[in-house]
Chains A and B, each alone.
Chain A
Amino acid sequence: MGEQPTVKKSVMEEPIFEKGSSGRSGIDVPDPGGPVPIDAVLLREDLAGFPELSEPEVIRHYTRLSKLNFSAATNFYPLGSCTMKYNPVANETAAAMPGFAGLHPYAPDQHVQGALELVRELERWLAEICGLAAVTLQPAAGAQGELTGMKIIRAHHLACGYARKKVLIPASAHGTNPASANLCGYDSIVVPVDERGLVAAAAVEALLDEDVAALMVTNPNTLGLFEADIERIAKSVHQAGALVYMDGANMNALMGVAKPGHMGADVLQFNLHKTFSTPHGGGGPGAGPVAVRADLERFLPGPRVVERDGLYRWDYERPDSIGRVRSFYGNFGILVRAYTYMLACGGDGLGQTTRSAVLAANYLRARLSGVFHLPYQADSMHEVVFTDKFQNETGVKTLDIAKRLLDFGFHAPTIYFPLVVAGALMIEPTESESLETLDGFADALLAIAREAAETPDVPRNAPYETPLARLDETRAARSPVLAWSPKPAETA
């Protein structure tokens, strides 16, 4: 530790502030030919630290930087729990149509009928997919959807006279679930996972009492396993007067094949940026629509699109609503992209997407099991979790395997999550990949396993092919350098 990572000069790009020279510019600004008609006190003496470059230098700088990017548009990106599926270009084309891109949120309802129809229709489609009655598209992210859903559950209990105190959350749930419950004023109680990697009905029943407001369950769970006892669990939760919140972040394992509403879910959030192919990472923006059963519709955030006599309008008269959760109507451009994706796939296509995603995960599972340790034996849904147990015998850990994968041109899987599995490697291939890509990825992991056995230093010191060699993650976390500053010599 403490040594600088090896930098390969040929592929690294200096910051733009260290390029160019004084007086250079992309365009020639005409000489005003006399005094500038601006108050002298407002005029700068010099360009305070701005880079001065020619246009081709700027273009080359940013083009080269873009080539250092790793994205789903360049390489396979099997980041577990994130559903990094390919985002079709058609989505972007639709979202860029002037009728959508040029909309003003204050435009009168009668001028934006098409946009309102899209909102209403997307709500209906999502309700159909999850088997619940009503949907709001307002939440701007999955976690905000969770909070919205929990506020609806709280509103329901308050309407019954008592908000209750606790929310049960399985150890295999998404990491944001306890935070959402806490933000909503509930204590989160962990439900243990059994030897199958699942939540046993008895484990939930043992924790149920009149203070439990809800069970927040991720299904399939973060181990990529379907919660087989879900119907009985939901029945017990309902008998205790509590509700079932289902985290729908893993809907890529269910969409078009099975409906959470039929399994007893009362409230669910979708992650459009996962399941419905809208941009993901780098700030998104995301969208976390929330679906509820019929009697909870009155609590949904307002305003809501309603239709009468073939005309759509925003309805603000919602006295029981939990209130707005996002300015205007959510991330509308993202809704257009998800709508486009659903329209392009069609109902059958969405079901095929799910089947292909599950097949891809199980294919990788079959190719890698035996060589990599599989902590749970049940068939996988849309993702599979391995561990570094076998490779660790020669001291090669999950982090080393992840780093070495970069040399093979693959993004690493999610590592060290879920926390219930020591040294987890969580792989979610999605439906986007060809058999050749899946085989290439499996071959790479098998090659790394051979290296771990024969030449463990190779993975331990990886990566070798990336612009930077292994980073000092500890130092990066303890003393991060978050802003560029001039080199000392230049400030003198």
Chain B
Amino acid sequence: MEFPDNLHYTKEHEWVRLEDDGTVLMGITDYAQDALGDIVYVELPVVSDEPVTKDEPFAVVESVKAVSDIYVPISGEITEVNDELPNSPEVLNQDCYGDGWLVRLKPSDTEEFEELLSAKDYQSFIDELS
């Protein structure tokens, strides 16, 4: 299982990548896609000026096993969503850190980055789970 060093992670099994333009991309981790199994349905939020708040559910991923909420990793505005994903949800299983990204956010509070986990800390968190 891979957890790239250049990403930040949440205990809800999401990854966050800081982009050069100050926005962040987010998606679900390798652990999450493996635990969910074959993903069959993705429901994404809409691009909006309405701010979203950290930890609130804002997307849904459904696999053959279960339906799971995806939580806002960093408060801010949703500036872009991965429109391709609802039509080809299998990409989440195939490339969760690349083409399987979910949402782009413009963070409103960069201090929240402090609460994210490093790849190493996320790995330790996963090890404790199993």
Residues of A within 8 A of B (CB): 399, 415-417, 419, 422, 473-474, 477-478
Contact = CB atoms under 8 A, between A and B. Distances in A.
B47 interface: no
Given A416-B65, A416-B66, A422 B38 contact: no
Contacts, number: 22
Contact of A474 (B35, B40, B129, B130): B40
A477 B130 contact: no
Given A422-B130, A478-B89, A473 B38 contact: yes
A477 B40 contact: yes
B28 to A, nearest CB: 16
B41 interface: yes
Interface of B: 35, 37-38, 40-41, 62, 64-66, 89-90, 129-130
A477 B40 CA distance: 6
A419 B66 contact: yes
A416 B63 CA distance: 11
Given A416-B66, A419-B66, A422-B130, A474 B90 contact: yes
Q: Which of B35, B41, B65, B130 has the most CB of A within 10 A?
A: B65
Contacts of A422: 35, 129-130
Given A473-B64, A477-B62, 14 more contacts: A399-B37, A416-B66, A417-B66, A419-B66, A422-B35, A422-B129, A422-B130, A473-B38, A474-B38, A474-B64, A474-B90, A478-B40, A478-B41, A478-B89
The 5 A-B residue pairs whose C-beta atoms are closest, nearest first, are: A477-B40, A474-B38, A416-B65, A473-B64, A478-B40
8 contacts: A415-B65, A416-B66, A419-B66, A473-B64, A474-B64, A477-B40, A477-B62, A478-B41
A399 B36 CA distance: 12
Contacts of A474: 38, 40, 64, 90
A88 to B, nearest CB: 34
Contact of B64 (A417, A419, A477): A477
A415 to B, nearest CB: 8
Nearest to A472: B38
Nearest to A389: B130
Contacts of B37: 399
Contacts of A416: 65-66
Contacts of A415: 65
Contacts of B41: 477-478
Nearest to A398: B65
Contacts of B64: 473-474, 477
A422 B37 CA distance: 12
A490 to B, nearest CB: 31
Contacts of B129: 422
Contacts of B90: 474
A422 B129 CA distance: 10
Contacts of A399: 37
Q: Which of A399, A416, A417 has the most CB of B within 10 A?
A: A416
Contacts of A419: 66
Nearest to B130: A422
A161 to B, nearest CB: 30
A184 B40 CA distance: 30
A17 B41 CA distance: 32
B98 to A, nearest CB: 20
Contacts of B40: 474, 477-478
Contacts of B89: 478
Contacts of B38: 473-474
A327 to B, nearest CB: 31
Contacts of A473: 38, 64
B39 to A, nearest CB: 8
A460 to B, nearest CB: 14
Nearest to B35: A422
A416 B37 CA distance: 11
Nearest to B40: A477
A417 B35 CA distance: 13
Nearest to A474: B38
Contacts of B65: 415-416
A419 B40 CA distance: 18
A438 to B, nearest CB: 27
B64 to A, nearest CB: 5
Nearest to A424: B65
Contacts of B66: 416-417, 419
A473 B41 CA distance: 13
A245 B35 CA distance: 32
